[in-house]
């Protein structure tokens, strides 16, 4: 297994070091995070992002809270709430924070700081191992000699391991199955152009970047044999929330008979959410649309519709790949069986 970069380094007892993803690919800037406030700002500003990596960041955030604010139940619960609310769509962040909080409150106060950092370190090791397992399952679904299309960023920058969809792509390349990866720019914040293209280059995988608006034409041309993305939350019926634009790719892929696959860890599956209507969708500032990096090309003051995610109906998804195996349609029973270990 190859990992393009280590985006988060844990440095207990006071903090962690993050690669600022908003500065890539031009600059590799590392941020020392030693307060809950600084971590929340990094999460909200997408300096650290990707559902699985946000879970790891949340686990570290509780360690930071214990070190800087104290280990009382009141302080830890307040910090957990603050971390959880930074980004509501990705289930991993809230789940990791809640699990860490429950574990900390189950032991005496003098043991909480060490416990929280131990859990964060174990979380990272688990994430790396799970990415490797997911990639092995997913690579089997890549047709030999195929090109694939992916959207947003799902590599090490999103998980801390080899990645989800990008981990599958990397494994398929190493196995000689893949000939090329097409990556959308992923507007408005260009995670594909800035991050996925950067990771593909570091991994030595032939890559072609395309505007989001060209993706339908690419799929219709027959150039790609598979579309594969990650997910930030998967409902019990298979409806999957992912970066805005994913739904459109799945719909076009279905129209042209190209399999559309989700690759995501089991932690992304939320069986308490019956369908996509129950997934909270984060809306972001209008300032992100109509310009980038301090340069503005749209008129000042124009309003913008800027959801960070959309929901792809399960009926458009050919398979959901996890570290525990592949869930086929119909997703209601297959996801329940996968989550129960059957």
DSSP string over 16-60: EEEE-GGGTTT---EEEE-SHHHHHHHHHTTSS-SHHHHHHHHHH
Residue 294 gets the label, from left (phi > 0), alpha (psi -120 to 50) or beta, of: left
- Return the pLDDT at 342: 53
pTM score, whole prediction? 0.93
Strand bridging mode 226-229 / 146-150: parallel
Set 92, 131, 232, 239: catalytic member: 232
The domain locations on the chain are 8-130, 135-339
Query: For residue 230, how far is the Cα from the chain centroid?
Result: 6
The CATH classification number of 135-339 equals 3.40.50.10470
Q: What is the Cα–Cα distance from 13 to 268, expressed in whole angstroms? A: 28
- Return the pLDDT at 1: 67
φ and ψ at residue 253, rounded to 5 degrees: -60, -40
The answer to whether residues 69 and 211 touch, using CB atoms and an 8 Å cutoff, is: no
Tell me whether domains 8-130 and 135-339 share a fold.
no
- Return the pLDDT at 66: 96
Q: What is the Cα–Cα distance from 191 to 49, expressed in whole angstroms? A: 10
Exposed, middle or buried, 16 (CB in 10 Å: 0-12/13-18/19+)? buried
Residue 174 annotated to the active site? no
**Geometric angle at alpha carbon 183, from 174 and 6, rounded to 5°:** 60
- Return the pLDDT at 89: 82
Residue 211: which H helix or E strand, with range? Answer: none
Comparing CA positions, the residue from 101, 66, 109, 63 lying closest to residue 81 is 101
The CATH classification number of 8-130 equals 1.20.120.420
Q: Provide the terminal-to-terminal Cα distance of the chain, rounded to the nearest Å.
A: 27
Tell me the mean pLDDT per 10 residues along the chain, length 342. Answer: 90 92 96 97 95 94 96 97 90 93 97 97 95 98 97 96 97 97 97 98 98 98 98 97 98 98 96 97 94 90 95 98 98 96 64
């Amino acid at each position: 297994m190859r990992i393009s970069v280590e985006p988060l380094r844990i440095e207990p007892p006071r903090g962690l070091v993050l690669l600022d993803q908003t500065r890539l690919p031009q600059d590799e800037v590392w941020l020392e995070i030693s307060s809950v406030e600084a971590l929340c700002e990094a999460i909200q500003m997408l300096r650290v992002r990707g559902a699985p990596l946000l879970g790891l960041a949340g686990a570290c955030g509780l360690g930071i809270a214990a070190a800087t604010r104290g280990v009382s139940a009141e302080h830890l619960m307040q910090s957990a709430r603050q971390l959880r609310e930074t980004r509501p769509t990705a289930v991993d962040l809230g789940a990791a924070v809640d699990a860490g909080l429950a574990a900390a409150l189950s032991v005496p106060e003098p043991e909480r700081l060490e416990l929280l950092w131990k859990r964060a370190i174990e979380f990272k090791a688990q994430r790396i191992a799970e990415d490797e397992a997911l990639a092995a399952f997913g690579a089997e679904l890549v047709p030999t000699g195929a090109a694939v299309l992916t959207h947003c960023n799902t590599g090490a920058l999103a998980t801390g391991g080899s990645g989800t969809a990008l981990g599958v792509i990397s494994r398929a390349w190493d196995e000689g199955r893949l000939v090329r990866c097409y990556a959308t720019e992923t507007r408005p914040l260009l995670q594909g152009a800035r991050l996925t293209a950067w990771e593909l280059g570091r991994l030595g995988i032939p890559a072609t970047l395309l505007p989001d608006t060209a993706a339908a034409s690419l799929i219709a041309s027959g150039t790609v044999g598979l579309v594969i993305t990650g997910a930030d939350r998967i409902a019990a019926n298979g409806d999957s929330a992912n970066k805005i634009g994913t739904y459109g790719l799945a719909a076009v892929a279905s129209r042209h008979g190209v399999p559309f696959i989700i690759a995501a860890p089991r932690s992304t599956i939320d069986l308490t959410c019956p369908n996509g209507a129950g997934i909270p969708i984060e809306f972001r500032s209008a300032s992100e649309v109509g310009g980038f990096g301090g340069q503005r090309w749209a008129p000042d003051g124009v309003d913008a519709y800027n959801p960070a995610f959309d929901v792809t109906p399960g009926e458009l998804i050919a398979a959901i790949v996890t570290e525990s195996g592949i869930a086929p349609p119909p997703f209601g029973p297959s996801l329940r069986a996968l989550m129960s270990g059957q």
